Chains A and B, each alone.
Chain A
């Protein structure tokens, strides 16, 4: 097995919940990310899925040290990012970049596209001014934008074009790791396809390692090599994308997959749906034992006592359920 490029070890991100103005006291903890261990190979695309509030965005941001982790390590190419501070961390940031759901909010409305991209290029490496136009045009080409747009401002672009600019800016520092947080969720269907193709192409050509965060399972299935399913701050299932989609092991993944509408009337008519009851519980007071047990149709008494760990099932597919083999007979 090739050496892991990104290694996440028992990563935890907890936020204090405080009350009071003069005497602030801690009344609880939001366990947004609660013990995540993952390893990602170079050039791999990992899809991170789960419902809103499951901690997938917080995990992405914690990996990039945009939020300091409470515990655990993030080792990128042999270096523990969680221990870096100040200038070292800033320098390390050239290795990893993020793109966000709303490209408009992540672009400065008063900077032309040329300025935005030039700033990104120069932020990590001194590049002579005379070389900038060529470098910027090269970036624009990479993301499929015509260099004649260079003097324009963000408001002059459509949503899809802005997302291309955001991708170009992320690529400006030649990152090794890219985290895309819901990059196509705000886009129309016909535009989504363009950005998905762009990201898939880049990861192939540049051998970019990517974490693709999305609540849209069919998009993730399409672009990711492996999928990690999160529930209440924990990874409950991990495996090759097609396999997780076609043969989900964890009861939560089963429900999630069955809730995804299929754009095919005949298949929609045939399928059996598992409809989950209720909403995900609060991460402030997560249920004891398996966090999913209150909504799980397979739950038994032990599920509220035993905290399940990810265990291997087969062919690289793992799930954390104490009844894993019982409910998935061979």
Chain B
């Protein structure tokens, strides 16, 4: 049984400028202990998907229009009561964010915010919780943890704040960690430290990780399976190696060709023409059509659905599905 099964998740935002279909028919599963990457550019719906699972979508203007997200085979995260969600959130599933400064309370000592989940879920008394807090900081590599736990967030560097946030998320030993670009704002050397740290914690706790990123490099080294999102929809889903070596969607291929790391030095980089679509307009058919070099009229005809073309490897490209093109 998968740890989390998401089915047809639809999160739309009802704004003055129309309905923004931020996440549209998103379906995926994650097994216990698995690392799943979600890749996409800004506005692709990768963060909205995660926020929906955590119940963090501001409603209104957001609305979960449809879908289910069943956690541990029991609770539907999208439909359950606030009480049920609060029992799971922060205990069985936790989230870390891109900017640790805005997710730490600047008025609270690290100690108080770090052990809050233990106290809220009634797992330990305060003295024991503080002991656990110090241990959690040590585990994530904060030096002199017993003293630093009394500090305030501004007294830490960016990398250290990110560690504090990870310690806070992991303190209840969750089964699922959702990481929304937690290393994007950090230097590569610190990013390497954090990735190493998450891997270590994952081995120790056996937790599953959803890693949201725009960096194919991080995905290559870190994730077992990947979802590629574009304009609110999943366009490709595959085990990491297959995604890189046997790409099945023109958008994924275009992304690979446009990053300098994979190209010979100085070569003209492949550019994806145009810009991502405006999600407040209804898009019939494949959203990538205006920028796709393989697009044909039939790509504009719905339904465009994610279909498996190889075991475990699904694409939303109708031309790949019908074997007209291979990439």
A180 to B31, CA, bound (A): 44
Are B189 and A256 interface neighbours, CB within 8 A? yes
Are B191 and A259 interface neighbours, CB within 8 A? yes
Q: Which 7 A-B pairs have the closest CB atoms?
A: A261-B217, A222-B260, A268-B221, A218-B261, A193-B258, A263-B216, A259-B192
Indicate whether B214 reaches chain A with its CB closer than 8 angstroms. yes
Are B216 and A256 interface neighbours, CB within 8 A? no
> Of B157, B191, B259, B266, which is within 8 A of A263 by CB?
B259
Are A189 and B220 interface neighbours, CB within 8 A? no
Main secondary structure of the interface of A (DSSP, over half): helix
Please name the residue on chain A nearest to B239 by beta carbon.
A265
11 CB-based A-B contacts, threshold 8 Å: A52-B187, A188-B41, A190-B271, A191-B275, A193-B269, A197-B268, A222-B269, A260-B217, A261-B188, A268-B221, A279-B160
Q: Given known contacts A263-B244, A268-B217, A275-B196, what 18 new A-B pairs fall within 8 Å (CB)? A: A188-B276, A189-B255, A190-B254, A193-B258, A193-B271, A194-B271, A200-B266, A219-B260, A255-B189, A261-B218, A261-B222, A263-B215, A263-B220, A263-B256, A263-B259, A263-B261, A265-B245, A269-B221
Q: For residue A217, which residues in chain B have a CB less than 8 angstroms away from its CB?
A: 188
Are A215 and B258 interface neighbours, CB within 8 A? no
Please name the residue on chain B nearest to A218 by beta carbon.
B261
Number of interface residues of A (CB under 8 A): 43
A326 to B271, CA, bound (A): 44
Indicate whether A174 reaches chain B with its CB closer than 8 angstroms. no
For chain B residues 9-30, which have a beta carbon within 8 Å of chain A?
none
For chain B residues 187-206, which have a beta carbon within 8 Å of chain A?
187-193, 196
A148 to B157, CA, bound (A): 46
> Chain A 172-213, CB within 8 Å of chain B: the 1/0 string?
000000000000000011111110110010000000000000
A263 to B37, CA, bound (A): 13
Identify which of B159, B189, B217, B259 gathers the most chain A CB atoms within 10 Å of its CB. Answer: B189
Main secondary structure of the interface of B (DSSP, over half): helix
A260 to B262, CA, bound (A): 13
Q: For residue A215, which residues in chain B have a CB less than 8 angstroms away from its CB?
A: 187-188
Indicate whether A168 reaches chain B with its CB closer than 8 angstroms. no
Q: For residue B259, which residues in chain A have a CB less than 8 angstroms away from its CB?
A: 189, 192-193, 218, 263
> Chain A 151-189, CB within 8 Å of chain B: the 1/0 string?
000000010100000000000000000000000000011
Q: For residue A192, which residues in chain B have a CB less than 8 angstroms away from its CB?
A: 258-259
Are A188 and B214 interface neighbours, CB within 8 A? yes
A83 to B26, CA, bound (A): 61
B6 to chain A, nearest CB (A): 24
Are B265 and A222 interface neighbours, CB within 8 A? yes
Indicate whether B241 reaches chain A with its CB closer than 8 angstroms. yes
Indicate whether A242 reaches chain B with its CB closer than 8 angstroms. yes
For chain B residues 238-280, which have a beta carbon within 8 Å of chain A?
240-241, 244-245, 254-256, 258-263, 265-266, 268-272, 275-276
Are B189 and A259 interface neighbours, CB within 8 A? yes
Are B220 and A265 interface neighbours, CB within 8 A? yes
Q: For residue B261, which residues in chain A have a CB less than 8 angstroms away from its CB?
A: 218, 222, 260, 262-263
Chain A residues close to B by CB (< 8 Å): 51-52, 158, 160, 188-194, 196-197, 200, 215, 217-219, 221-223, 241-242, 255-256, 258-269, 273, 275-279
Are A275 and B193 interface neighbours, CB within 8 A? yes
A259 to B220, CA, bound (A): 13
Q: For residue A278, which residues in chain B have a CB less than 8 angstroms away from its CB?
A: 143
A189 to B230, CA, bound (A): 13
Please name the residue on chain A nearest to B268 by beta carbon.
A197
Q: For residue A197, which residues in chain B have a CB less than 8 angstroms away from its CB?
A: 268-269, 271
B216 to chain A, nearest CB (A): 4
A196 to B275, CA, bound (A): 16
Q: For residue B216, which residues in chain A have a CB less than 8 angstroms away from its CB?
A: 189, 263
A164 to B268, CA, bound (A): 17
Q: For residue B219, which residues in chain A have a CB less than 8 angstroms away from its CB?
A: 263
For chain B residues 169-215, which have a beta carbon within 8 Å of chain A?
187-193, 196, 214-215
Q: For residue B190, which residues in chain A have a CB less than 8 angstroms away from its CB?
A: 51, 279
Q: For residue B256, which residues in chain A have a CB less than 8 angstroms away from its CB?
A: 263
Indicate whether B42 reaches chain A with its CB closer than 8 angstroms. yes
A97 to B41, CA, bound (A): 30
A236 to B259, CA, bound (A): 27
Please name the residue on chain A nearest to B262 by beta carbon.
A263
Q: For residue A51, which residues in chain B have a CB less than 8 angstroms away from its CB?
A: 187-190
B188 to chain A, nearest CB (A): 4
A218 to chain B, nearest CB (A): 4
A99 to B190, CA, bound (A): 27
Q: For residue A193, which residues in chain B have a CB less than 8 angstroms away from its CB?
A: 258-260, 269-272
B33 to chain A, nearest CB (A): 19
Please name the residue on chain B nearest to A266 by beta carbon.
B241
> Chain B 48-91, CB within 8 Å of chain A: the 1/0 string?
00000000000000000000000000000000000000000000
> Of A191, A256, A266, A267, which is within 8 A of B188 by CB?
A256
Q: For residue A189, which residues in chain B have a CB less than 8 angstroms away from its CB?
A: 41, 214, 216, 255, 258-259
Are A222 and B262 interface neighbours, CB within 8 A? no
A52 to B191, CA, bound (A): 13
Are A263 and B188 interface neighbours, CB within 8 A? no
Q: For residue B218, which residues in chain A have a CB less than 8 angstroms away from its CB?
A: 261
Please name the residue on chain B nearest to A217 by beta carbon.
B188
